[in-house]
Amino acid sequence: MKKVLVLCTGNSCRSQIAHGYLKTFAGDKAEIYSAGIETHGVNPKAILTMQEDGIDISLHTSNNINEYRDIDFDYIITVCDHAKEVCPFFHSNAQLFHYNFPDPAKAKGSEEEIKRAFEYVREMIKKYCMDFVKDYLVY
């Protein structure tokens, strides 16, 4: 079974959303992990935006990359430039992927504008994850 790590700065929004979609789309074809260079806790707005699309990430935890040092990943996906730049070296043959998604947690404006920012990023990540699973995890 393939092992996939989604890595972000704080493991609160983008990596959590990607984790939820990858797990949903890959089913039993892969083990999905997410982590951050730091841990900021799972953002309640990320939980809400995923619930609106039928995926429950409310029991996810915010994990530090160091918790997964001993796992031999097949794929590591960085979802922000900062995580890519400071991604620690793993002793593995993992294939590295990168996509710099906007950070919805930094959205400004009214509650409705912030909600739309989360939905926008969610849809970007959803498409990316769907394509990733089709191209790398489902044979």
- pTM attached to this predicted model: 0.94
**pLDDT(89) > 80:** no
pLDDT in tens, 18-58: 999 999 999 999 999 999 998 999 999 999 999 999 999 99
In whole angstroms, how far apart are CA 16 and each of 27, 91, 109, 110, 134? 16, 24, 23, 23, 20
Instruction: Give the C-alpha separation, 74 to 43, whole Å.
Output: 27
Torsion of CA 7, 10, 12, 14, to 10 degrees: -40
What is the rounded average pLDDT for all residues in the chain?
A: 93
Which domains does the chain show, CATH number per domain?
A: 2-137 (3.40.50.2300)
Query: Is 13 a residue of the active site?
Result: no
What pLDDT does 30 receive? 97
What pLDDT does 88 receive? 63
Q: Which of 63, 87, 115, 120 is catalytic?
A: 87
The CA-CA-CA angle for residues 14, 15, 18, to 5°, reads 85
**pLDDT(90) > 70:** no
Task: Quote the tokens at residue 109.
Answer: 């404006």
Q: Using DSSP, state whether 77 is helix, strand or coil.
A: strand
Q: Which of 5, 6, 8, 77 is catalytic?
A: 8
What pLDDT does 138 receive? 80
Q: Which of 4, 77, 80, 121 is catalytic?
A: 80
